Amino acid sequence: MSISRLLSTLSLAGLIGLVAACGTVHRSAPLLERGVVAAPESQAAEVGGEILRRGGNAVDAAIAVQFAVSTTNAIGAGIGGGGFMLIHDPDAGDVVALDYRETAPDGARRDMFLNEDGEVDALLSVHSALAAGVPGTVRGMAALHERYGTLPWAELIQPAIDLAEDGFRVDPWTAGKIAEYGAKFAAVDERFREQIEFQLYFRGGLEDRMSIPDLAKTLRRIAERGPDEFYTGQTADLIVEEMDRGHGLITKEDLASYRPVWREPIEGQYRGYKIVSMPPPSSGGVILIEFLNMLETFDRLPLHSPEQIHLQAEIAKRVFADRAEYLGDPAFADVPVGALTNKEYARARAKGIDLKRRTDPGSIKAGDLPVRVDTDGQTTHFSIVDRNGLAVSNTTTMNTGYGSGIVVDGAGFLLNSQMNDFSAKPGVPNVYGVTGSEANEIAAGKRPLSSMSPTMVYSPEGDLVLVLGSPGGSTIISTVLQVILHSIDYDRSLAEAVDLPRFHHQWPPLLPETDPISIEDDGRYALARSTLDALMELGYTLDEVEPIGDVQAIQIRGRDVTGVFDRRRTGGVAYQ
Ligand code: GLY
């Protein structure tokens, strides 16, 4: 019996089901029919496909796609941002996690977003130069390249240089978002208007084609001089000059000392399947596993029945309350990962759930009234598998759409607004409506808590069967969870699993005395009227929101691989 099969059998017997953050051993994958890239934008997908066809591996393709989406999909990705990646390596027999999340600058302080009355000035953490954490993308890609890359660094950046220099197609979804955010940034609080020069980003022209000449120059410098150019070279100087203009905090020392971190992924079991996802400073993996552990203590309920949605809302209240209390950067807070992902803990936590009655969210834990600025999570996820079974699940973000809206003048890229992912004040929600505690308070050098959940799913036999992830702020966890459930519990094809309607609950109500479930406002993803009526009868309020998430996923069955992009936004799949 192979080690992975033995481990899988033992886990089925419940002997290792409680183990969370540990190394993972998997059987070597067979040679697949083809490699595949599922990306949130079709030109970037094609960049990845071309790298695979040229003989690059999945990580080479991931680096090239990361720089490409940073160009074509700036709403949710950028070299001014950061992210998380899982890499399944069939040769080494393990999965590793790369954390290239932004860090708080050295000058950051716990109360930096509070006004003189001690109240949160929410816009300051989204639209000012103070909103930006030290970007992690470029050194993240360099760490990946050093460990797994086979093609030259410059060759992997060249496609993005070409897109930025020669121009790329602007699809209707992207054009719509540029117009929407252009209007939002133009109307932003006047304190920030001078520095948010969003239109600078488009000075290469914008109709159905767009180029970003300053970004092309920056990418060329990074390609020619290496990743340190961003952190200690001319690009670093341009970032610091932008900080000086806007009274931001990022210094040359902050940039020079930024480092990505290799981490052990989070691992759990759900009905015999192994789920591997991102550890802290993301909450994604821990909350996903805690959720699945609680769900597993109930019988499977009919898909999208009022009972199924009610059960998931009840679980969400409990896991999001735990997220708020316990999760943060493990370098600064003692995060009880093992306890939160323990099956016994989940069993005990699920005991209070009544399938016929709602629990008042306030009785689980009360939050302050929200200060909500925005609702959309404009992050970016792509998944890649090559013919040798090397697989990448990557979620990257600027936080809010186009980040802070501040363009680094002369460098052609936007700065993230990741500082808003910290808890500016205990119990006060951030832009995603999630709260936090001391574990996620601001501190110099600390990484803000995330919901990003790049994930891999293994069959009971130990084979990698699903690679997936999504944008969407706190809704990421619900999105990834529901696609996994559609696939495992309801046996849907990957395309169906991604296309089925989604819903979301995250516990602290925006208004007191309410218990809101978010449902999608697009008729294509509508739940049955009878289901909605039954949920309202139970006392839930239904909150119609933009389509939830944007999943790019890959399914592996034997030697066959299929990539899927989400119809909710735009996207593409390219094959080797
Ligand atoms: N900025 C969204 C997240 O990391 O969850």
Whether the Cβ atoms of residue 162 and residue 175 lie closer than 8 Å to each other: no
Kindly calculate the radius of gyration of the chain based on its CA atoms and give it in whole angstroms: 22
CA of 450 to the centre of ligand 1 (A): 4
- From 376, 378, 379, mutation site for ligand 1 pocket: most ligand atoms within 8 A of C-beta: 379
Catalytic residue numbers read 379
Q: Which atom of ligand 1 is nearest to the CA of 377?
A: 2
C-beta neighbour count of 304 within 10 angstroms: 16
Q: What does the angle CA 443 – CA 549 – CA 401 come to, to the nearest 5 degrees?
A: 55
Residue 551 has φ and ψ, to the nearest 5°, of -85, 130
Contact 504, 475 (CB under 8 A): yes
H helices within 390-528, ranges in order? Answer: 475-488, 494-499
Ligand 1: nearest atom to the Cα of 399: 1
What is the block-wise mean pLDDT of the chain (576 residues), using blocks of 10 residues? 32 30 44 95 98 97 98 96 97 92 98 95 94 98 98 98 96 91 91 85 73 96 98 98 97 98 98 98 98 98 98 96 94 93 93 94 54 58 97 97 95 96 91 89 98 98 97 96 98 98 88 88 96 97 95 96 96 96
Instruction: Report the half-sphere exposure of 512 (CA within 13 A, side-chain side).
Output: 5
Measured in whole angstroms, how far is the alpha carbon of residue 231 from the centre of its chain? Answer: 24
CA distance 277 to 86: 7
CA–CA dist 476, 190 (Å, integer): 32
Give the rounded distance of the alpha carbon of 35 from its chain centre: 23
Amino acid identity, position 29? A
Q: Which amino acid is at 39?
A: A
> Which strands make up the sheet holding 516-520, listed edge to edge?
503-504, 516-520, 541-545
The pLDDT value given to residue 376? 57
Predicted pLDDT at 297: 98
Task: Find the distance separating the first CA and the last CA of the chain, reported in whole Å.
Answer: 33
Domains and CATH numbers, the chain: 3-262+388-422 (no CATH), 269-378+451-575 (3.60.20.40)
Question: In this structure, which residue's CA is closest to atom 3 in ligand 1?
Answer: 450
**Are 468 and 480 in contact, with CB atoms under 8 Å apart?**
yes
Say how many Å lie between the CA of residue 356 and the centre of ligand 1: 33
Lookup: tokens for 269 = 């079991």
Ligand 1: which atom is nearest the Cα of residue 452? 5
CA dist 25 to 3, 8, 274, 278, 483, Å? 7, 10, 11, 16, 24
Ligand 1 neighbours by CB, cut-off 6 Å: 377, 379, 397, 399, 421, 450-452, 473
Report pLDDT for 204. Answer: 63
Nearest ligand 1 atom to alpha carbon 421: 1
Tokens (6 digits) for 223: 């390609």
| Helix ranges restricted to H, 131-283 | 137-148, 153-166, 172-186, 190-193, 213-225, 228-232, 234-246, 252-257
Could you identify the atom of ligand 1 that is nearest to the CA of residue 395? 4
Q: Which two tokens stand for residue 109?
A: 């302080």
Question: What does the alpha-carbon distance between residue 171 and residue 207 come to, in Å, rounded to a whole number?
Answer: 10
How many Å lie between the centroid of ligand 1 and the Cα of residue 471? 8
pLDDT in the model for residue 16: 27
pLDDT of residue 216: 97
Given this model, what pLDDT does residue 9 score?
A: 32
Cα(135) to centroid of ligand 1, in Å? 14
Neighbouring C-beta atoms of residue 519, cutoff 10 Å? 21
The whole-number pLDDT of residue 205 equals 62
**Under DSSP, is residue 545 helix (H, G, I), strand (E, B) or coil?**
strand
Ligand 1 centroid to residue 106 C-alpha, Å: 21
Beta-strand runs (E) in 446-485: 455-458, 464-468
Q: Rounded to two decimals, what is the model's pTM?
A: 0.92
Q: Residue 502's pLDDT is what?
A: 98
Q: How far is the CA of 90 from the centre of ligand 1 (A)?
A: 29
CA dist., res. 479 & res. 384, Å (int): 19
Ligand 1 binding pocket mutation candidate from 278, 329, 380, 399 (most atoms within 8 A of CB): 399
- The protein residue whose alpha carbon is closest to atom 1 in ligand 1 is 399
